[in-house]
A and B are shown apart, each in its own frame.
Chain A
Amino acid sequence: MAIPILVFSTDKTRGKLFSRIIESNGFNAKLYNNSADLDYAVRTRRPHIIVFDARHCQPREFQLVESFPGRFPDAEIILITSAAELPSFISAGFKGENCFSDPINPEEISLKVKEIYFIKNKAFLRIKTYFVLLGVLLKGIFSGDRDNPYIVFTKKIILAGAAALSVMVGIAGGFIFYSMSDLPKVQLLESYAPFESSFLYAADGTELAEFYLERRKFVPFYKIPKHVKQAFIAVEDARFYEHHGIDFIRTFGAFVNNLRAGDTVQGGSTITQQLAKMLFLTPEKSLSRKIKEAAISMQIESRYKKDEILGFYLNQAYFGARAYGIEAASQTYFGKKTEDLGVADAAMLAALPKAPSVYSPFTNPKKALIRRNLSLKSMLDRGFIDRQAYAAAVKEPVPEYVNRKKYTAPYFVEYIRSAMEQKFGDRLYTAGFKIYTTLDLPLQKKAEKATADGRAAFAKAGLGDVEAALIAVDLKTGAIKAMVGGSNYQKSQFNKATQAARQTGSVFKPIVYLTAFKNGYSPDDMIDDMEVTYSSSDGRQQWTPHNYTRKYYGRVTLRTALSHSLNAATVALANIVGMDKVISTARTIGITSNIYPHLPAAIGVSEMTLLELTYAYTTFANGKSFIPMVYEKITDRYNIKVEDNAPKGVQTIDPANIAKMHDVLGAVVTEGTSVAAKSLNRTVYGKTGTTNDYKDAWFIGFDDNMTVGVWVGRDNNRPIGEGMSGSRAALPIWINFMKED
């Protein structure tokens, strides 16, 4: 041994004795009889062990040995002295367990030296040490030599080991107990309901949109084809059907491989463990989490069949491209349902959960191909597929990115999403609702075409960036059948049909007339159409409304006043019936926007949305006030109806007044500002609206089936163009939409 054990004794015989005791145990001992030599030796050799015989020592030698612990803290001092002097050395700071009194006890000293050497030289790290100890122990056991110091030493080691093991087992047990104290309940899987997308359908059942936090569509395990399950088993957990949640062989193999690689190159987790982690645990890497994972895995295994577990896993796993679960992944990557996946498709999907972005066929097709073929090879090696199937599958290309989502009626979708979010909160994105909307897809397309044509016409006339919005409402149900909120949803998500509050111009006027009818007037009653200046109640403000053409017709019927959109007559009428009543009427028929409580409001200075005005006109059509209806029913993930949305119209206008409204609004088409609508060759009703400087152009009208509102204007609220009145800008779009195909 490189560093000898230093022995000091002033008594040569005792010194030799100590040296020989040490040497007899296989150590090198170096004997010193004077303190100067010892001091030099300790300084130069830096021994691990000093055996110091304090008998017959002089004060100088005592001082020397007392200085060692401070000067050489790494050196252990075994001190031998008389029984009488022993306490004084211990109180001077020498370790009690290293101090011995006469008579010299060779066994005691041997054991102590071995013990210290064992620790200091890290002999316990050498396998050889344990072979030697085992040999000695066995020899001692067979020879019955229980007093053999090696056996005594070995016993101590075993006892110490057992004690340490007990402590470790205790600590480990405590830690496991602690870790498992907040173990989630596996029974929760009974009501396994992963985050599932909600879907939006048009009236004809066409999928309009998918709302999700994790884009997922649950597919029951029995609908997953066998080869798809086998692909995942081959790749993720070959002994899936053999283990009970934890694959110790795989774990050990992974441990060895990772140790060799010096990095995590192989995972040891089974499918069940991965499921436990995905469902119940956080992704943190900790021992506590691993213990929980193992415990949960075993619980899952004891409670569920293997196919059920695999089903949970396949529905829960993330496959990249925002696809959660096998069904979403199938749709995303292959545009197929899970049950239609082929062998190559299954192998590709099985390769993804490990590193979805790395092996994504959309972003890394080469890596994806290699990885997929490895999956196929695993399937072949495990006998899941034959050579023929393998050869065919490896020839298949990996899928390329296809934008499978066609966003129809984006403004309508966003409108309803917002409404549904208010209704369901975050559950909208996780609960798997199916929302059957009122949107009539052919009508929607017609609406989009009509507005697009209108914008094209504006463009042709040199008027760029003109926006058009359209809403069609079913008269019987109050359901929105079509909605165009703007020209380009990607460019602007601002919905001009529902969100844009604009001055209404003349489309507000029918409310004044309805108020008059409700107050006993009829379309044939007369009103003065002349330039009148109105003063505010305090007399400080004055206002003179002018007709659009600046012509005044004197006494006119209410029918004429509205059909020709005469401002002066309408203000006169409002002045007679009172603006408060007008506002009250507006509220009754569903206008919720602020209304300026003075006469100018009668000719549309207040700002309103196309949505509320279209619904107001719906009330003109049939006397019923509707809350905008956008869906017919909602079901949950199990197709159980959550809500049946029956039409909720409230009769707010009596039939006589409905007739009067039909009279005056019909006259607008037949003899007034909207005669162009006569081209439809059927009875329609409506009213144009134009705001100052042609900033907004409106036409809202109805036939026997639906009310349709059209607004034309610009996002920046600048004029559309000279002369772009409601009848010129909005009505053509309305007519285009209302045309029968």
Chain B
Amino acid sequence: MSDKNDDAKAAVNQKGPEKAKEIEHFGGPIGLDIGTTNIVSARTRGSSVHITKQLNAFFTVPASKITGMTLLKNDVLYFSQGGSYYIIGNAADTFANTFNTDTRRPVESGLLSAKEDEALNVIQSIIKTLVPPPKNQGDLVCYSIPGDPIDTKISVLHHDTILKRTLQDMGYTAIAINEGFAVIMSELADESYTGIGISMGGGMCNVCFSYLSVPVFSYSIQKGGDYVDAMVGAAVGESQTRIKLIKEKELNLLKDPKNKIETSLSIYYEDLLETLILSIQRVVTTSESVPRLTKPISVVLSGGTAMPVGVREKFEKLLKANRLPLQFSSVRMAEDPLNTTAKGALQLAIAEEK
């Protein structure tokens, strides 16, 4: 994702040269969406919700005095480790574009990357740019975690625990919220928190079905925007970054594809959505906990991967084409798809605080 947010001002990493400014502190509970692409924090400011975010990425450059001074001069967030400067957050994307290469991710397919040695340091550093030290020990922060992947034996426990400890070490009381449930918390208050929330992120798609705010089932599939980008890139011989750019800026799945990239994007989006709906079908029909509902429920889509024009319509069409023991009243996009998870996490934090 290339969204830049200049609200992020400072890193608080003690290991490297710092270019940190005091993070504006509003107090109160915090909702935190730790996604594959972005980390988004949400807090209340008066009656509105205040969002801050950083790209959940880093870029390394060899450490040198000149480089260090340049980074400081340009307010770039970084830390030094093992002879390299780790440029984090939004700045990492700028550097990657400059060097015509991709940023590196501390989170892969929704979970802490096993490939990156410094993934933990990076993610902790980014979190600290978004979450100030608590005003009071034990202040609440609710952070998002993915559901257990449905098609692998991978557990989210490690990921969850690391994040919880990071936040607790900062002095917070940390509670986790499933990403899909966070969508429900954010979007389905008027429907008694009953419905299906789907967060379509870069690394995975998270699905949650809630009845009266009880998450009846939640899981993830490890396919997301990154999967589409990778598969399309490989198919058409273009870089993932370019494919991602086209996907975010131009793709309209309601229209006939104009070129092979759009054709390929259409194919892989359809594959992603089919995978998603089949997984829902599978879970709903096998769960012992899904209640028999006489009223139709809503499905809410959120996340950057759900944003291209036509994704909602395609999803709805496929959903209706598949038989499910649930009736759906509507499939709709979240009001603010990129920040829905963070807002949902904030809702839960507020509820818990009460």
**Residues of A that sit less than 8 Å from B by CB:** 11, 13-14, 16-17, 20-21, 24, 55, 102-107, 147
B294 beta carbon closer than 8 Å to chain A: yes
Q: Smallest distance from the beta carbon of A27 to chain B beta carbons, Å?
A: 13
Give A105 to B325 CA distance when docked, in angstroms: 13
In the complex, what residues of B have CB within 8 A of residue A24's CB? Answer: 192, 212
Inter-subunit contact A147/B288 (CB<8 Å) = no
12 contacts between A and B (CB under 8 A): A11-B288, A14-B289, A17-B289, A20-B213, A21-B291, A55-B288, A102-B288, A103-B290, A105-B292, A106-B211, A106-B293, A147-B294
**Residues of B that sit less than 8 Å from A by CB:** 192, 211-217, 288-295, 325
Give A103 to B289 CA distance when docked, in angstroms: 7
In the complex, what residues of B have CB within 8 A of residue A103's CB? Answer: 288, 290-292, 325
Inter-subunit contact B289/A11 (CB<8 Å) = yes
Q: Smallest distance from the beta carbon of A301 to chain B beta carbons, Å?
A: 58
A17-B214 CB under 8 A given contacts A11-B288, A102-B288, A103-B290: yes
Give A17 to B194 CA distance when docked, in angstroms: 11
Inter-subunit contact A147/B214 (CB<8 Å) = no
Residue from B291, B292, B325 with most neighbouring chain A CB atoms (10 Å)? B291
Q: Which of A11, A55, A104, A147 contacts B291 (CB 8 A)?
A: A104
Give A11 to B211 CA distance when docked, in angstroms: 15
Give A102 to B289 CA distance when docked, in angstroms: 8
In the complex, what residues of B have CB within 8 A of residue A107's CB? Answer: 294
New contact pairs (5) apart from A14-B288, A20-B214, CB-CB < 8 Å: A11-B289, A13-B214, A14-B289, A103-B292, A103-B325
Inter-subunit contact B291/A20 (CB<8 Å) = no
Give A102 to B293 CA distance when docked, in angstroms: 12
Give A24 to B214 CA distance when docked, in angstroms: 12
In the complex, what residues of A have CB within 8 A of residue B291's CB? Answer: 17, 21, 103-106
In the complex, what residues of A have CB within 8 A of residue B214's CB? Answer: 13, 16-17, 20
Inter-subunit contact A13/B289 (CB<8 Å) = yes
In the complex, what residues of A have CB within 8 A of residue B295's CB? Answer: 147
Q: Smallest distance from the beta carbon of A143 to chain B beta carbons, Å?
A: 13
In the complex, what residues of B have CB within 8 A of residue A13's CB? Answer: 214-217, 289
Least CB separation from A23: chain B residue:
B212
Inter-subunit contact A104/B294 (CB<8 Å) = no
Inter-subunit contact B216/A17 (CB<8 Å) = yes
Least CB separation from A102: chain B residue:
B288
Q: Smallest distance from the beta carbon of B319 to chain A beta carbons, Å?
A: 20
Least CB separation from B193: chain A residue:
A20
Give A463 to B214 CA distance when docked, in angstroms: 121
Give A85 to B293 CA distance when docked, in angstroms: 22
Give A17 to B192 CA distance when docked, in angstroms: 13
In the complex, what residues of B have CB within 8 A of residue A21's CB? Answer: 212, 291
Give A20 to B215 CA distance when docked, in angstroms: 11
Q: Smallest distance from the beta carbon of A16 to chain B beta carbons, Å?
A: 5
Q: Smallest distance from the beta carbon of B219 to chain A beta carbons, Å?
A: 13
Q: Smallest distance from the beta carbon of A549 to chain B beta carbons, Å?
A: 133
Least CB separation from A103: chain B residue:
B292
Least CB separation from B291: chain A residue:
A104
Inter-subunit contact B288/A20 (CB<8 Å) = no
Least CB separation from A56: chain B residue:
B288
3 smallest CB-CB distances across A and B, nearest first, come from A104-B291, A20-B212, A103-B292
In the complex, what residues of A have CB within 8 A of residue B213's CB? Answer: 20
In the complex, what residues of B have CB within 8 A of residue A11's CB? Answer: 288-289
Inter-subunit contact B289/A20 (CB<8 Å) = no
A104-B289 CB under 8 A given contacts A24-B192, A147-B294, A147-B295: yes
In the complex, what residues of A have CB within 8 A of residue B292's CB? Answer: 103-106
Least CB separation from B295: chain A residue:
A147
Q: Smallest distance from the beta carbon of A407 to chain B beta carbons, Å?
A: 94
Give A106 to B292 CA distance when docked, in angstroms: 7
Least CB separation from A16: chain B residue:
B214
Give A631 to B215 CA distance when docked, in angstroms: 110
In the complex, what residues of A have CB within 8 A of residue B290's CB? Answer: 103-104
Least CB separation from B218: chain A residue:
A13
In the complex, what residues of A have CB within 8 A of residue B216's CB? Answer: 13, 17
In the complex, what residues of B have CB within 8 A of residue A20's CB? Answer: 211-214
In the complex, what residues of B have CB within 8 A of residue A147's CB? Answer: 294-295
Least CB separation from A19: chain B residue:
B214
Give A673 to B293 CA distance when docked, in angstroms: 131
